[in-house]
Structure 1
Amino acid sequence: MRRIAAFALMALIWGLTWLPMKVASEVVPPIFLAAMRFLLAAPCFLLVAQIQGLPVRSGGFSRIVAASLLITTGCYGFLFWGVARAPSGLSAIVNLSLMPIFLVIIGALYGQERITLRRVAAIGFGIVGLALLFSGRTGSAQDGATPVFGLIAVAIGTVSYAWGSVISRPLTLAMPPLILAFWQSLIGGVALVPVSFAIEGYDPAYFAALSDPRALSGLGILVLGGSLVAFWIYLGLVRDWGAFRAGLYSFISPIIAVAAGVAYAHEPFGWAEGLGMGIMLAATALSLLEKRAVSAARSG
């Protein structure tokens, strides 16, 4: 039950970060914002580690670098580039529906996951629920760019995150998740800086914009909630559950995000969204209860 509660808290926090991230992106370029988020989160993780007396040094540094570049730099670089060129609703469907698929496929290739009928059914239900949830939020392409390239970039970013999550699991077994979170935030954040400058350009005004109240509040929520709490929980669940089950937040966080949008931004909400939410919750429960069902069958 403690892990379920941690999973629920993680999904809640990540669902609530979309709105402040959107607000902060109005004054700060999104990839630059992501870089600052992780560069600010890294010393926070380091401070907590020092308070707990945890050693920062660890072996397998090449694997840590690879996981950091995949789960942080590659994911956010491709994701934000793609969202800027494709409808936001379609981008969300592509990212969140493909996440559990890539997690279970890549996990199976690494011998960490099993492709079962229950999981395939959960993924199918989740995709249907996501499509219903975002049915009225597909938006339109921006700047006249071809949205297909943006959606391809979103898909690549999703693969990058899933791959990084899978190769992070052995690392979580060899070191505290807090230490891994520190290294992935630091390395991934540093690598995002040149990506931001290459895509968004360099402008000293970006740094000045960080003092805007919208940017400050957004970064505060992203760093303290999204990184220091939720990402720490995520790596712990990757260790205990595996990447697929930990990644099922992608069926819960959108529900929270839509609910926050309805409550604070007065976004539309109808029967399709309600049905989509119910289906996604059912899909998540189907997978989260998988081990319990297997154990009950064996005991019987």
Structure 2
Amino acid sequence: MESQPGSEGGRIAAFLVMALIWGLTWLPMKLAAEVVPPIFLALVRFVLAGLCYLAIILPKGISLRLEQPGRVIAASLLITTGSYSLLFWGVAHSPTGLSAVVNLALMPIFVILVGALYGQERITARRLGAIGLGVAGLLLLFSGRTGAAADGAALGLAAVAAGTLSYAWGAVISRPLMRSMHPLALAFWETSLGALALAPVSLLVEGYDSWRLSALADGRALLGLSVLVLGGSLGAFTIYLWLLREWGAFRAGLYAFVSPVVAVAVGVAVAGETFGRPEALGMSVLLAATALALTDGRRVARSSP
């Protein structure tokens, strides 16, 4: 996507499309996980996404040379393997709207914490406030969840939070690679290498059954993979990279306030997910924490299905 003078309206429209897509990916992911085991679903998603990236990269003549292969492998294991195995499993066991809130609201906070350990971020008073609000928001989200079914949902949300931390860690160690590798080349390697490592994780956790391949032809699986690969990986992520160049990280990162609201609304309206006072309060506090983190003027990473 190329920048055009006077095209601010086009950039705003693209931003809204991106935020809408990332808000709409959560429910199809959960529906697909009803017929395909979630980690295996993540494996198929990233194999397909890697092939799509390759189809874009080769005609453009973008170099696929690996810079700092050890760092690329580590980032791939964190961003794709660790993050999305936990994320897909967590979404399969918890409400999609709350999963989106936990993932998108915690991302800038975790990037700050991990970035500080690597000397990339500073812990300021504003950021300490963001971290405190983030913890309070999580406690509110979990406060109304008791009983066997609720405990299962709480475990799913905990897995989403752990997956978010894994992604943030990988994003931090990926930053130096952005100076020497094309973003699409880096996305290809992190997607493909991470998918390769998802195979043994799926076998270890979910076992193997030949029916899984035929289950991919189920309408729910096809819908989920189409939305995740074409919408999330190729469509929305391409827009995000463009907006990073046009607007910078702060304005592009404002999707973190729009996408969770979309995900919650879709989950309540379509799937009948519960969204009561504890969830509303927890979501409000988590989004306030996100606002504190984003308005500190530093870069944060993207995460989304």
- How does the TM-score come out when normalised to structure 1? 0.77
Cα 1:288–1:43 change in 2 (3 A) is same
Matched, 1:157 2:160: no
In 2: Cα distance, 1:265 partner to 1:248 partner: 26
- Give the distance between the partners of 1:171 and 1:114, measured in 2 at CA: 21
Residue of structure 2 equivalent to 1:172:
178
Distance 1:45 1:146, change over 3 A: closer
**Paired residue type of 1:26:** E
Partner of 1:16: 24
8 Å Cα contact 2:86-2:162 kept in structure 1 = yes
Instruction: Write the distance in 2 (CA, Å) between the matches of 1:139 and 1:203.
Output: 34
Q: For 2:211, which of 184, 205, 213 is the aligned residue?
A: 205
CA distance in 2, matches of 1:156, 1:280: 16
Partner Cα distance (1:247, 1:90) in 2: 19
- Between stretches 217-226 and 45-54, larger displacement belongs to 45-54
Q: CA deviation at 1:200?
A: 0.8
How far residue 215 of structure 1 moved from its aligned partner, in angstroms, is: 0.6
Number of the residue aligned with 1:297: none
Match of 1:46 among 39, 54, 60: 54
Residue 32 of structure 1 aligns with an amino acid whose one-letter code is: F
Cα distance, 1:201 vs structure 2: 0.9
Which range is displaced more, 117-126 or 15-24? 117-126
- CA deviation profile, 1:125-173 (whole Å, cap 9, x unmatched): 455556667776x47546998976x676555433321110101111122
Contact 1:251–1:280 at 8 Å: present in 2 too? Answer: no
80-89 or 164-173, which deviates more: 80-89
Judge which range, 35-44 or 224-233, deviates more.
224-233
C-alpha distance in structure 2 between counterparts of 1:130 and 1:145, whole Å: 16
Task: Give the gaps of 5 or more residues in structure 1.
Answer: 293-300
Are the equivalent residues in 1 in contact too, given 2:97–2:263 (CA < 8 A)? no
Structure 2 gaps, min length 5: 1-7, 299-305
What is the letter of the counterpart of residue 25 of structure 2?
T
- Rounded to whole Å, the distance in 2 between the matches of 1:146 and 1:220 is 26
Q: Is the 8 A contact 1:70 1:160 kept in 2?
A: yes
Residue of structure 2 equivalent to 1:104: 112
How has the CA–CA distance of structure 1 residues 157 and 277 changed in structure 2, closer, same or farther, with 3 Å as cutoff? closer
Q: Counterparts of 1:230 and 1:44 in 2: how far apart (Å)? A: 14
Residues 196 and 68 of structure 1, relative CA distance in 2, 3 Å threshold: same
Q: Which moved more, 1:39-48 or 1:51-60?
A: 51-60
Maintained 8 Å contact 2:98/2:264: no
What is the TM-score of this pair, normalised by structure 2? 0.75
Percentage of matched positions with identical amino acids: 62
Letter in 2 for 1:111: G
Give 1:253 deviation, angstroms: 3.2
Deviation at residue 74 of structure 1 after TM alignment = 1.2
- Asked if the contact 1:172/1:235 (under 8 Å) is kept, the reply is no
Name which of 179, 186, 194 aligns with 2:200. Answer: 194
Match of 2:78 in 1: 70
Cα drift, residue 61 of structure 1: 1.7
Whole-angstrom CA distance in 2 between matches of 1:264 and 1:146: 18
Q: Deviations over 1:200-224 (max 9, x none)?
A: 1111100000011111111000001
Rounded to whole Å, the distance in 2 between the matches of 1:101 and 1:20 is 27
Counterpart residue identity of residue 66, structure 1: A
| Paired residues of 1:85 and 1:142 also in contact (CA < 8 A) | no
Shift of 1:56: 1.7
Counterpart amino acid of residue 120 in structure 1: L
* Distance change (3 Å), C-alpha of 1:291 and 1:159: closer
